[in-house]
Structure formats: C-alpha cells, structure tokens
A = this chain, B = another copy of it.
Amino acid sequence: MAEEVSNKQVILKNYVTGYPKESDMEIKNVTIKLKVPEGSNDVVVKNLYLSCDPYMRSRMRKIEGSYVESFAPGSPITGYGVAKVLESGDPKFQKGDLVWGMTGWEEYSIITPTQTLFKIHDKDVPLSYYTGILGMPGMTAYAGFHEVCSPKKGETVFVSAASGAVGQLVGQFAKMLGCYVVGSAGSKEKVDLLKSKFGFDEAFNYKEEQDLSAALKRYFPDGIDIYFENVGGKMLDAVLVNMKLYGRIAVCGMISQYNLEQTEGVHNLFCLITKRIRMEGFLVFDYYHLYPKYLEMVIPQIKAGKVVYVEDVAHGLESAPTALVGLFSGRNIGKQVVMVSRE
C-alpha cells in the first residue's frame, strides 16, 4: 500500500502580463501517493533544489510553437531541479539515486523521464550546483561560449547579466582561455563580485551609464570580438556599434525584454554587414551530448577552486515565488536556487 503524504505546491494562477508578481502564484497543499503508476516508467522523486531561470518567464504566457510549452494555469510550475528518487519504473534510475532535470515546483513529483533527466554521479560538490554550474546554466555557458562564439586566446569578450547563473561562468571560461573579459551587471555589489570573485578584467553597472555605447568604448577602445548576449534591447544596440570586424554574438537570452508587452526595437543591425558579424542564437538542448565532456573539464576545476560559482539560495518552497519574481528585477546575486529540502 503506497504511502500518501501531503505535498506542497507552487501553482501558477493565470497567464502573466508584464512583470510577474508573487500574487501570480499561490501555495497549495495537496496529497500524493508515492507510488509509480502501474505499468508506467515514471519516477517518483522528492525535490531538493529548484532552479529559477529567466526562460521561465516565457512559459508564464500563452505560447505556441516555441521550444517550450506554457505552464498550465492551476497546475504546479515546472522547471529544472535536483531530486532524490523514491521509486522508479525506469530501469535507468533506482531508489536513492540523485537526479537533475525537469521536475515540479512541489515537495514530491512523479516524473515521466522522457525529458532530460540526468543521474548525478559526483556528489562531492554541493548538490545545488546541479541546478547551476553542473546543470543547464553550466552547459549553456560552456556550449554558448566554446561552440557558438568560436573564441580564440587574446580576444576581447563582453558578457551582459554577467553575475547571473550563466554569465559568471562565461566570464571564467573566457579568462581560462586567455581572453580579456568585461561584464555588465545591475548593482555595485554585482560589479564588485565580477572583478573580485570571478576574475573579470573590468565590470560596470549598466544602470549608472548614461551612454552604454560610450561605456563599452571605455572598456573596449579597439572593439569587442565576442559578445555573450543575455539581455537584448538597448545593450545589444550599444554592443553592435562597438563590435570588431568579424565579431561573433552568441544570443543566449534577452532578459530585458521578457516582461515588455512590446519589445524594444534594435536599430543598429546594419553593423552586421559593415563589420561582418555573425550573430547566432542557441539553446542548450542541442548540446547535451557534450555534457560528459563538460563535467570532466569543470568538476576538477571546481574542486581545485579554479572555477567558482555564486548561488543565491532561498529557503523553503514558500519562498519560491519571491525568488522567481526577483530574477526579473535583478534581486538575486548569482544563480537563484530554491532549497526545498536538504535531502
């Protein structure tokens, strides 16, 4: 007889317009049978860490034909997380395994592992890292920088939203390769972190710059070889005029645009021609085959203290709506994680 337990959930109440608010979500208590449905290959998990990621904003509206589906209003939010297997109908997973992948914003979930679900082998690092440096954002930074940007030693690299889950890693990977790296962020604290903790050569607070193009010219008098794009809008326009010939722009995200009903127009695309720039969008899903190679590279670097990762951990499922909403005002310092349970 399966154990039935209470299960706290974070529910999206309705599709969201403009900036998401905490009141767009609610906490609900239900019960769940901790049992794999008869004949299925589902996996029953206890959620430990949940990941707050900017792409989740798009799932809060009615979308069609995109790479992700809308959240279902009235149902728990879903997203990346770290979880412990309680029971498994899938032979690839056993009770007691730790996994990361798509799960629900609730204490317990029943996952149909048709989506990416990775078994965690190395537990000698903080488990929460599998929502960040060792999970989707880490792979995003690695693939986006090494596979999309075609970086070379000595090149100049600009990263926006540079202290975020992805940006802080792009900066460190670029430094490891011998690039000159500058990051932008939205507070003095974040700017300090970029320089003192992540080893960026320079950093600036975009909110304090009247003229973003002039700011970039200050740090890149000879231009930018590589732009790792996380924000879009005005920053992209300022970057375009500061790119070098044959520059590359990896388009990872455009967080400044996600809550606008009408996105800002980008005016300087003619620079793509005059400077022969390649601008390329990418999604991490296309690069998961490189995940083992990435872990092999990054885990020793973490253990040697050569790559660091800053997380902003909110405690308890009840704090999840605040944590998620905070992403879009830049309240988080580093990767935003919600700890549901320590184990």
A278-319: which have CB < 8 Å to B? 278-283, 286
Could you say which residues of chain B place their CB within 8 Å of the CB of A28?
none
Report the bound CA distance from A264 to B271 in whole Å.
14
Closest partner residue, chain B, to A265 (CB atom): B265
Tallying the copies of this chain within the complex gives 2
Which one of A83-91, A248-256, A332-340 contacts B? A248-256
Q: Which residue of B lies closest to A251 (CB)?
A: B272
Chain B residue with the shortest CB-CB distance to A245: B67
Query: Would you call A286 and B281 a contact (CB within 8 A)?
Result: no
Q: Does A31 contact B (CB under 8 A)?
A: no
Q: Is A275 an interface residue (CB 8 A)?
A: yes
List B contacts of A273 (CB < 8 A): 251-254, 281-283
B283 engages A269 (CB within 8 Å): no
Contact B279 A272 (CB under 8 A): yes
Kindly state the separation between the CA atoms of A253 and B274 in the bound complex, as whole angstroms.
10
**Is chain A's binding surface mostly helix, strand, loop or mixed?**
loop
Interface residues of A in 175-222 (CB under 8 A from B): none
- Cβ contact within 8 Å between B269 and A251: yes
Q: A236-B269, A263-B267 are in contact. Are A283 and B279 (CB under 8 A)?
A: no
Nearest CB on B from A256, distance (A): 11
For the complex, is A276 an interface residue (Cβ under 8 Å from B)?
yes
Q: A251-B269, A264-B265, A269-B266 are in contact. Are A67 and B274 (CB under 8 A)?
A: yes
A15 to B29, CA, bound (A): 70
Checking B257, B263, B272 against A280 with a beta-carbon cut-off of 8 angstroms, the contacting residue is B272
Partner of A267, one of B262, B268, B277, B283: B262
In the assembly, what is the distance between CA of A263 and CA of B267, in Å? 6
Q: Which of these, B264, B267, B283, contacts A274 with CB under 8 Å?
A: B283
Contact with B along A49-81 (1 / 0, CB 8 A): 000000000000000001100000000000000
Task: Give, as a whole number of angstroms, the nearest-CB distance from A342 to chain B.
Answer: 35
Q: Residue of B at shortest CB range from A269?
A: B266
A274: chain B residues at CB < 8 Å are 66-67, 281, 283
Q: What residue in chain B is nearest A66 (Cβ atoms)?
A: B274
* Chain B contacts for A19, CB-based, 8 A: none
Q: 14 other contacts beyond A66-B274, A278-B279, A279-B279, with CB at 8 A cut-off?
A: A67-B274, A232-B269, A251-B272, A251-B273, A253-B273, A262-B267, A263-B267, A263-B268, A263-B270, A264-B267, A266-B267, A272-B280, A273-B281, A277-B280
Interface residues of A (CB under 8 A from B): 66-67, 232, 236, 251-254, 257, 262-283, 286
